[in-house]
Structure 1
Amino acid sequence: MACVKQAGRFTCLLSGLFLAGPVMGAGDSIDADGWRLVETVAEGQIYHREIEGSSVPWAMLVTTFDTPPERVHAVVVDYDHFAEFIPNVFKSRVMAHEGRTQWVYHHLHFPKPITDRIYLIKSTDRKCQVQQPCYRVE
């Protein structure tokens, strides 16, 4: 995740396999990191990036929040409560901590014919400094 504060608004890039879905449009432009714009929705822009050996791409949502950066960061790393506010998250909990790294268990539940997914995700919280303090979770 990368976030930038601009003129009182807060822009975040969220990416991960749990956001992945079928390619919905064919954007011709691919940036230097391999991200391709596939759709613009009310919530922001959806990008995909291919994963070698997988038919499921990485997905990234670029959106803007009108709230302080600290609050957005607190929600993004509130893994133990994801099931309370993220659709299809049946269970989520931090399994282990080591410094700024956490290993997080996610059980995603979907209606049939899609089967449930279970992930153990490594999440690292990093400090960053662009022109002002920012938050980064990888």
Structure 2
Amino acid sequence: MPRLPDVAREYDGGNTTGFVSPAGDSLEGPIDLSEVLDLRRPHRYPVRVKGDALLERGIQHGDILIADAAASPAAGQVVIAMIHGDVLVCQLAYRCGQWWLKPSGADKEPQPVADEAEIWAVVAALVRTSV
């Protein structure tokens, strides 16, 4: 593979010949994912998904979830929970005066959030490394 000249690899849009592009002031610099996903906060963690946890929510095997352990859970959010030592990714629901953990799939029953269940974190973002 041929090596690109340094100018091509470090192009910032400001060194052009001819007229200045009207879009030149809207060029964005490099994207820092740790800043965008706010990973510098001590309670934010990347967690890799194993299995087809919540396909209907677009969460697939191999995705990376950004878990926020300090966020307050709310109905409809995707959460990471621990039940009997198992870690689950599920949707949090509130019905009939009780909180429920709703896994993906019609064959899986929602489980009530009881003493043996702990909501560890709320999913704040999803990163997909393969398309």
Larger radius of gyration: 2
TM-score, normalised by the number of residues in structure 2 = 0.26
Question: Which gives a bigger RCO, structure 1 or 2 (Cα 8 Å, sep 6+)?
Answer: 2
- Which structure: greater strand fraction? 1
